[in-house]
Structure 1
Amino acid sequence: MYDVIVVGARCAGASTAMLFARAGYRVLMVDRAEFPRDTLSTLYIHQPGVALLRRWGVLDKVIATGCPPLDRAVYRIADIRIEGCSIPVDGHRAAYAPRRYLLDEILADAAVASGVEFRQGCTVTEVLSDDEGQAIGVRCRTSDGGTTEEHARLVVGADGMRSRFATMVDSRITTEHPAATCAYYTYWEGVTDRFELYEAPGRWVGTVPTNDNATLIAAYFPQSEFERVRKDAMGAYMEAVRGTAPELYAKIASQTPLERLHGTGDQRNYFREAAGLGWALVGDAGHHKDSITARGITDAFRQAQLLVDCIGTGLRDPEKLIDGLEEYAYQRDEILVDAYHSTLSVAALEVAEHRLSMLRTVAGDQELMDRYFATLAGVIGVEEFFTPDLHAREELTRP
């Protein structure tokens, strides 16, 4: 019998499994995929996520892959240019954006090195429960076509936005909003060494430098345009870059992309119940929001650390386990709800005049610009950024 079974071995699941193993628990991690394997992702790890990688002792391995430190950011909208970097977290200021087939393997290897048993090509077909409805394990189909059952005190679902695990444990959606955007991206050689954001009415373009001198360039469109865009996705993508970020377009117009164009219109926004009797959800399985703010990886790390902290030493005590899961469910929502609503606001792709007024006040003041990027990264809250002083200065600049 295991203490914990984790279903899913990407950034949320591998982090969770690793941390439970380091806490002294016997952990099994399963994933239906064989690693390494790529996945749709904006790649970006905000400063709070980088701080956790450093705390866990794996940041050096991420850096060793050659992904560059992203310690300068630029945001362009209308006639406004904001340039700076988030304030530091635990003394570390840079963000990173490793390719997912590298990051996920690093985390899975760290989990195994911490004592986790990892079974690849293992698909969970059922969550086992006792007569009282408490999750007690999983039934799996193995890569050779066989079946196996494993039991644990806690079963954690980390199998992504389309989580089958969440369905199996009947985790209810508690908050949900319609998809607001669709997104397409591919990789280009060189282009920039900065994290860049460009916004125009109905459009959002971002650059994310990553491994091997490649830059991910993503373009976002309103969800209402998805059916039109998907008919000529590459044409729509290039036109979005040209119209929103002409200087960026000039750098790629004569290039051939390094990979095919990736895209999705499945930009779900929801919270599911985070925990129940003998089970918990981490990462996109329990909470997902539009990828436009690139919070997914960082939020997955935060949830993994939070779950292990809330359970603490109480996993083998049934009453303490219940209390820990309830605390995790409460804190997860408290920690993530503000970023959820701010992401919905960004994903609306609306350029409001009051926001332009605020940004004009921020532009040119390095402290304010750095605090603005700290807000985007989740280092400080929106209420910490919108201080009475900022509002007063904005009033003075209005005509």
Structure 2
Amino acid sequence: MYDVIVVGARPAGAATGMLLARRGLKVLMVDRARFPSDTLSTHQIQPAGVQRLDHWGLLDTLLAAGTPATGSVRFDISGTVVQGRYPDGFLCSPRRTVLDKILVDAARDAGAEVREGFHVAGVVNDGSRVTGIRGRGGEELRAPVVVGADGKHSLVAKEVAATVLRETAPGTVASYSYWEGVDMPVGELYHRPGRAVAAFPTNDGLTMVYAAAPRTQFDAWRRDIEGNLLATVDGCGDLGERVRAGKRVERLRTTVDLPNVVRRAQGPGWFLAGDAGLVMDPVTAQGIGNALADAELLADTIVQGRDDYQRRRDEARRGIFDLTTGLARLRPVRGLSALLLKAVARRQESVEQFLGVFAGTVPVETFRRPGNVLRILAQRARG
């Protein structure tokens, strides 16, 4: 008998298991994967997530594995450039073979039992609450709390019939791979009508290059994925030249499986964390940071016996979910939004606040508050 069973041992699950085990709970983590192993990912751990890793004593290990720290970023949104340093630290863009193994090892070190290569067939319940899980071979494992951290197609969420609270249709097709020999002095993001691009340094001296297009263009995109990705990058200043001067060293990864879904995140004997409970388009690269935040919030909830995990998670994510689904439409930036961006770009204080929204340190609602928007626009008008 365990205190908590965590299904899924990537960032949300491994961090949850680690934090609970550190507080003395008997934790079982299961995952069908074996670590280290790769998975589709945005790679980016925004500064708020990096701060959590530092607080948990894991950041030095991540950096020692050759993960670059990216303190400056360049947003080019239809020609308006917002560039500066993150106001509260830096982001990292680790390979998942590196990050996930560090978190799984940390959970083991904390005392959690980890079963890799374990396939969950379903959850066990007593008619009123979840009481454990069942493996494919029929083995039943019991705990008063089961955490589903098993991704956007969560079996746990399906088994407990977690209600979909919000859903926005998938908007993009995304492709990425790794290049060597690319000059990357800062992290770079671009927004063009119908396109989005990101390029960040990752492990082994490589650069991860990502491009997105409207999902409606998937048939044309997949006929020549590399050609379409490079043509998109060519429209981003000199980034195309720098990428073409390098060499792609791994296969291209492409997906249209990019849902935007908010599920009910708790019920009798169960919780959902990470993408299992809330998933959104990778255009704002919030997934890993959200997973780590969920783990911290969920560990506190379970240990303290609270019942407000759902409310606190939703309050924290509402603004960034709306922002992300809006940006995933890849529409031109016009009108007041275009004027606001130009105003932001002119003052370092506003640049830092803008970057803080994506960093996870400034709530979207704070930035978008009418008084704040008027203040930024007024500063531009005064020159």
Length-normalised TM-score, structure 1: 0.91
Aligned match of 1:370: 352
Are 2:377 and 1:394 equivalent residues in the alignment?
yes
Are 2:216 and 1:233 equivalent residues in the alignment?
no
Instruction: Write the deviation string for residues 265-314 of structure 1: whole angstroms up to 9, x where unpaired.
Output: 11100111101110110000111000010000000000111011122243
How far did 1:382 drift?
Answer: 2.7
Aligned match of 1:317: none
Q: Secondary structure at the match of 1:2?
A: coil
> 2: CA distance between counterparts of 1:127 and 1:201?
45
- Could you tell me whether the CA contact under 8 Å between 1:187 and 1:215 is conserved in 2? yes
- Could you tell me whether the CA contact under 8 Å between 2:44 and 2:91 is conserved in 1? yes
Cα distance change on mapping 1:392 and 1:22 into 2, 3 Å: closer
> How big is the alpha-carbon RMSD for the aligned residues of Structure 1 and Structure 2?
1.6
Aligned match of 2:244: 253
How far did 1:385 drift?
Answer: 2.5
Are 2:92 and 1:96 equivalent residues in the alignment?
yes
Aligned match of 1:176: 167
Aligned match of 1:27: 27
- Could you tell me whether the CA contact under 8 Å between 1:71 and 1:94 is conserved in 2? yes
In structure 2, stretches of 5+ residues that fail to align are none
Aligned match of 1:128: 124
Paired amino acid for 2:100? D
Q: Secondary structure at the match of 2:70?
A: coil
How far did 1:33 drift?
Answer: 1.0
> 2: CA distance between counterparts of 1:327 and 1:390?
32
Cα distance change on mapping 1:389 and 1:281 into 2, 3 Å: closer
Find the partner of 1:344 among 325, 334, 358.
Answer: 325
Moved more, 352-361 or 338-347: 352-361
- Could you tell me whether the CA contact under 8 Å between 1:65 and 1:98 is conserved in 2? no
> 2: CA distance between counterparts of 1:76 and 1:19?
38
How far did 1:397 drift?
Answer: 5.0
Q: Secondary structure at the match of 2:143?
A: strand
Q: Secondary structure at the match of 1:6?
A: strand
In structure 1, stretches of 5+ residues that fail to align are 315-323
Aligned match of 2:16: 16
> 2: CA distance between counterparts of 1:125 and 1:386?
44
Aligned match of 2:364: 382
Paired amino acid for 1:212? D
Paired amino acid for 1:197? L
- Could you tell me whether the CA contact under 8 Å between 1:38 and 1:101 is conserved in 2? yes
Aligned match of 1:319: none
> 1: CA distance between counterparts of 2:67 and 2:95?
8
> 1: CA distance between counterparts of 2:374 and 2:366?
12
> 2: CA distance between counterparts of 1:286 and 1:7?
13
Q: How many residues are matched?
A: 379
Are 2:241 and 1:268 equivalent residues in the alignment?
no
Are 2:117 and 1:112 equivalent residues in the alignment?
no
Percent identity among equivalent residues? 40
Aligned match of 1:138: 133
Are 2:48 and 1:48 equivalent residues in the alignment?
yes
Aligned match of 2:179: 188
Instruction: Write the deviation string for residues 58-91 of structure 1: whole angstroms up to 9, x where unpaired.
Output: 1111111111111000011233221112221xxx
Q: Secondary structure at the match of 1:205?
A: strand
Moved more, 206-215 or 304-313: 304-313
> 2: CA distance between counterparts of 1:155 and 1:79?
48
Aligned match of 1:221: 213
How far did 1:97 drift?
Answer: 1.1
Moved more, 245-254 or 10-19: 245-254
Paired amino acid for 1:331? R
Aligned match of 1:280: 271
- Could you tell me whether the CA contact under 8 Å between 2:181 and 2:247 is conserved in 1? no
Aligned match of 2:295: 304
How far did 1:238 drift?
Answer: 1.1
Aligned match of 1:66: 66
Q: Secondary structure at the match of 1:312?
A: helix
> 2: CA distance between counterparts of 1:26 and 1:389?
47
How far did 1:367 drift?
Answer: 1.5
> 1: CA distance between counterparts of 2:316 and 2:245?
44
Moved more, 264-273 or 246-255: 246-255
How far did 1:246 drift?
Answer: 3.8
- Could you tell me whether the CA contact under 8 Å between 1:74 and 1:83 is conserved in 2? yes
Aligned match of 1:206: 198
- Could you tell me whether the CA contact under 8 Å between 1:86 and 1:372 is conserved in 2? no
Q: Secondary structure at the match of 2:174?
A: strand
> 2: CA distance between counterparts of 1:236 and 1:340?
28
Cα distance change on mapping 1:56 and 1:396 into 2, 3 Å: closer
> 2: CA distance between counterparts of 1:156 and 1:185?
30
> 1: CA distance between counterparts of 2:48 and 2:285?
13
Cα distance change on mapping 1:255 and 1:24 into 2, 3 Å: same
> 1: CA distance between counterparts of 2:362 and 2:206?
30
Q: Secondary structure at the match of 2:41?
A: coil
